[in-house]
Structure 1
Amino acid sequence: MTYPTPKELYRSADLLKGYDPNRRLGFADGWDFRMYRRYIADGAASPKTLAVRRGQAEHDAYISDALKRFLDQSTPKLVGIMGGHGLSRTDAAYRDVVQLARALTRQGYFIVSGGGPGAMEAAHLGALFADADDAVLDRALALLGQAPVLPNLLGAIADDGEIIESRAADLDAAQRWMNVALEARQLAPPKAGESLAVPTWRYGQEPTIPFASHYAKFFQNSLREEALITNSRAGIVYARGSGGTVREIFEDAERNYYVGDTAAFTPMIFFDRDGYWQEDATYDAAGKVTHAALKVDDLLTRLFRLAPGVDAAACLAKIRFTTDIAEISDVLAGHSATAVRNLAFTLQGEPLKVSTAVLCRRAGD
């Protein structure tokens, strides 16, 4: 069996093909999750054979090309929204991300995020319901609240790709989690907002959410991360998150550090009403976390004061720790013309006109 070579970006219907919301373990038979099961059977992050490695690489090359052509057709103002997969659908922070994505989509931005649960799902939900009435969005959120947290499916699939029967209850719970999402999606207005999801089968235990309009799904997580960060040229918003979100923050920080052009410095927005990114975590006597937080503000300030060839103060002005949507809109608006220009250069095969295309590393930097 060969791996697919998609000529276009995936749609939700492609990923859900074969999914039966009413059959026990129907979740595991959807095309997306079956591909994850195959990925596991073929060695996961360590492909068993060269043929497997080549098949996955060819798939990712095709999806990369499909993504380029999609962006070339629309040249959108792409705003990335990154954040943790563990955010519950009933958390205030989840609703905050929904409202931000909704507002930015209304303003003409195109939301891009991962395709998993938590903050990623909230971003796509907000984009989808951009033109919906508040009451309709509230109904959708209430439906989602009936299955607020995705169960942990890590280890639910054996090395041969088969379901581990003792984990069937978790798969049934995941099916319930997906089913309420499909019900909520039915409430979206006829003119539904579009967004781009960029997930990976590397984390295939986190099923792809059904709220985006287009999906660029990769086997290689490194390609997925590169696609997320480099294409979010209008700016990136960071909701609360942990390891994966921190990786994205510092991949973005690396590109901004070496940008060599103050105007091309991409806005970095840290978005959490509780100051997650500006505080240190606290712990009890036993070492258990009592208040989750991860302070990055001081480190980023010190880093960009060292950045070569840019006006540090002007760059730092594009880093905001806020949940004020009007403030975020102002920062993004000040950068959007540069973002559209740089995306156009890239798509037209003139990447060297974009300062971040070649990172300007110099001795001692």
Structure 2
Amino acid sequence: MQPTPAQPHPAARDREIESLAEFDEVVAAHGSLAQFRVQAVDLTGRTEALLGLDTTGAVFLGCPMDPEAAARVRSSGALVFPPVPGLPFDPYRGFVYTPDELFESLEEGYEATPDAQAYAWFQRTKADGDIYASMLRAIHDDAVSDALDELLVGARVVGVMGGHAMARGTAEYAGAARLGRELTRAGFTVATGGGPGAMEAANLGAYAAPFADGMLEDALQLLAKAPSFRPSVTDWARAAFEVRERWPGGAESVGIPTWFYGHEPPNAFAAHIAKYFANATREDGLLARSTAGVVFLPGAAGTVQEIFDNATPNYYESRGEPTPMVLVNEEHWTRELPTWPLLRSLARGRSMESRIALVDRIDQAPEALKRLGG
């Protein structure tokens, strides 16, 4: 007969413990960790507290602690998943990434950064069939999804999609940046694929939202000295951090990149970076979280895929009311890659028909999004 599990403390239904400050708050308020989930918190300085607390049904995910404390909480009925040594990432992390975290040690070159090291680990392990490595990737990506959901509670998220090839210094890049700025000033949270090109431009524009308009023009000129992440990711990233250092305190936005395309580094203008190993999880998660609509800038195969990845749940209404979809650049989407005629045919007679629009200029996208109910 299985034992009846202890009832979780009411606070455990609301949140996990993801920081040392939160751990101390819960201990002070409740005097118990029963049924809590403690995630990636260094508890080596909390041995005395752990020796005296009820940890029945608690789970400790990747929390460093003294051996005495670990033995005590296990004997008290907790599950302890110890930190995994030798990894360039924490699979149990409680928060999404920051640019400073992923680009730490950039002064030594991009290859020395945690971002590059995680990609190198992924390259070594993705094809060897090792279930241990694939399990670690899955745990990491699930932890990132959990952190991203917690971050975006109550946010009006607009996704901005577009190709990575859009170079700094071009009119197209400047237009995407102004779009990100206008959406942020309108109260939306901008979310992108988190990489270079159009994605970086939209995150840059969001960052620039609190400043006078001239700041963005100056930043665009500064960035133009390193137009692309090829041939040097190091130079490309350093230019972005130079902008951030010259104008600190920009507005927050979200980037959702992947190590699957490891040749695409994350951009430094998204304050919150939810980086995944599994690209399919990343793609679907980005679109599903863009609850206030999606703007699709000109792109190639990846952007076309994103359009129909988003159209499918809208067509079947599997996520409830269809989210607005705005495609930018009539020539691109009707002649170069004639995606719009097929999208319009799919939408005909369905509720999503009133939630799609094609505009010619990028500055028309915010008004179109508003008109569609974003």
TM class by smaller structure: 0.7 to 0.9
Alignment match, 1:76? 155
Say whether the 8 Å CA contact 1:114–1:199 is kept in structure 2: yes
1:205 & 1:327 partners in 2: Cα distance? 30
Question: 1:233 aligned to 291, 310, 330, which one?
Answer: 291
**TM-score, normalised via structure 1 length:** 0.74
Secondary structure, aligned partner of 1:148: coil
CA RMSD after TM alignment: 2.0
1:194 & 1:305 partners in 2: Cα distance? 37
Question: 2:135 aligned to 54, 76, 83, which one?
Answer: 54
Q: How does 1:161-310 map to 2 (within 5 A)?
A: 170=231, 173-188=232-247, 190=249, 192-259=250-317, 264-272=321-329, 275-279=331-335, 293-305=336-348, 307=350, 310=351
2:129 & 2:325 partners in 1: Cα distance? 39
1:333 & 1:11 partners in 2: Cα distance? 34
1:65 & 1:79 partners in 2: Cα distance? 19
Secondary structure, aligned partner of 1:115: coil
Say whether the 8 Å CA contact 2:326–2:368 is kept in structure 1: no
2:122 & 2:356 partners in 1: Cα distance? 40
Give the letter aligned to residue 71 of structure 1: L
Secondary structure, aligned partner of 1:86: coil
Say whether the 8 Å CA contact 1:104–1:329 is kept in structure 2: no
Say whether the 8 Å CA contact 1:140–1:185 is kept in structure 2: no
- Post-superposition offset of 1:332: 3.0
Alignment match, 1:331? 369
- Post-superposition offset of 1:242: 0.6
Secondary structure, aligned partner of 1:94: helix
1:333 & 1:193 partners in 2: Cα distance? 25
CA 1:335–1:129: 2 relative to 1, 3 Å: same
**How many pairs were matched up?**
287
1:119 maps to 2:192: no
- Post-superposition offset of 1:193: 1.1
Question: 2:104 aligned to 3, 17, 21, which one?
Answer: 17
1:95 maps to 2:182: no
1:210 & 1:47 partners in 2: Cα distance? 32
Give the letter aligned to residue 134 of structure 2: R
Secondary structure, aligned partner of 1:204: coil
CA 1:260–1:216: 2 relative to 1, 3 Å: closer
**TM-score, normalised via structure 2 length:** 0.72
Say whether the 8 Å CA contact 2:175–2:362 is kept in structure 1: no
Give the letter aligned to residue 264 of structure 1: E
- Post-superposition offset of 1:260: 7.2
- Post-superposition offset of 1:256: 1.0
Say whether the 8 Å CA contact 1:27–1:175 is kept in structure 2: yes
Secondary structure, aligned partner of 2:260: helix
Say whether the 8 Å CA contact 1:234–1:332 is kept in structure 2: no
Give the letter aligned to residue 181 of structure 1: A
- Post-superposition offset of 1:57: 0.4
1:253 & 1:68 partners in 2: Cα distance? 22
In our comparison, the structure showing a higher alpha carbon Rg is 2
Alignment match, 2:44? none
2:344 & 2:276 partners in 1: Cα distance? 33
Give the letter aligned to residue 78 of structure 1: V
Unaligned runs of 5+ in 1: 152-169, 280-292, 337-365
Moved more, 130-139 or 214-223: 130-139
Say whether the 8 Å CA contact 2:356–2:372 is kept in structure 1: no
Unaligned runs of 5+ in 2: 1-85
Say whether the 8 Å CA contact 2:322–2:355 is kept in structure 1: no
Moved more, 193-202 or 128-137: 128-137
Give CA-to-partner distance per residue, 1:212-258, whole Å, 9 cap, x none.
11011110001100111100010100111111111100001111111
1 or 2 for the larger relative contact order (CA 8 Å, sep ≥6)? 1
1:138 maps to 2:217: yes
Give CA-to-partner distance per residue, 1:94-141, whole Å, 9 cap, x none.
111101110010010000001111000001000000122222211111
Say whether the 8 Å CA contact 1:136–1:187 is kept in structure 2: no
Say whether the 8 Å CA contact 1:200–1:217 is kept in structure 2: yes
1:87 & 1:324 partners in 2: Cα distance? 14
CA 1:276–1:258: 2 relative to 1, 3 Å: same
Secondary structure, aligned partner of 1:269: strand
CA 1:195–1:137: 2 relative to 1, 3 Å: same
- Post-superposition offset of 1:306: 5.6
